[in-house]
């Protein structure tokens, strides 16, 4: 079974709709992240959470919100979707490596299309 799962895997929605992307992990990691990936722009951090009570904005948080329901669950919401939020969204988890580095493990991704 996958350590980091994301639902849905694909979603097509319309402008103005509210949508939630969900992430669950069985790795037991405290840290969780949401990224979006666009062609030519790479991975950009939307929000990150180091524990249930610690949620922080990333570089592109406008138009998004998150909820950390439990150590294992981290959800991303688009309150009113717009076409430029069409992208591939990844959830990731991490625990500091043996040398202290922030090695991250990614879920399979959600391909979101906003019409």
Partner 1 sequence: QKEVEQNSGPLSVPEGAIASLNCTYSDRGSQSFFWYRQYSGKSPELIMSIYSNGDKEDGRFTAQLNKASQYVSLLIRDSQPSDSATYLCAVEDSGGYQKVTFGTGTKLQVIP
Q: Which spans of this chain sit near partner 1 (rule: CB under 8 A)?
A: 40-43, 45, 48, 50, 56, 58, 90, 94, 96-97, 99-109
Decide whether 17 or 104 has the Cβ nearer to partner 1. 104
Q: How far is the CB of 95 from partner 1 (least distance, A)?
A: 11
Q: Which is nearer to partner 1, 57 or 73 (CB)?
A: 57
| Cα 76 to Cα 33: distance, rounded to the nearest angstrom | 10
Q: Which of 54, 62, 66 is nearest to 91 (CA)?
A: 66
- The nearer residue to partner 1, 62 or 97, going by C-beta atoms, is 97
What's the closest the beta carbon of residue 69 comes to partner 1, in angstroms?
A: 22
Query: Following CA atoms 69, 75, 78, 79 in sequence, which dihedral angle do they give, to the nearest 10 degrees?
Result: -10
Do 19 and 13 contact (CB within 8 A), yes or no? yes
Q: Between residues 24 and 94, which has the closer beta carbon with respect to partner 1? A: 94
What are the C-alpha distances in Å from 6 to residues 72, 73, 93? Answer: 12, 10, 12
């Amino acid at each position: 079974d996958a350590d980091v799962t994301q639902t849905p895997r694909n979603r097509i929605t319309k402008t103005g709709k509210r949508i939630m992307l969900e992430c669950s992990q069985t790795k037991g990691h405290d840290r969780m992240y949401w990224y979006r990936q666009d062609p030519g722009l790479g991975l950009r951090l939307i929000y990150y959470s180091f524990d249930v009570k610690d949620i922080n904005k990333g570089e592109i948080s406008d138009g998004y919100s998150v909820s950390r329901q439990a150590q294992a669950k981290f959800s991303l919401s688009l309150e009113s979707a717009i076409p430029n939020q069409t992208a591939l969204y990844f959830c990731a988890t991490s625990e500091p490596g043996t040398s202290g580095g922030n090695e991250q493990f990614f879920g399979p991704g959600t391909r979101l299309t906003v019409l």
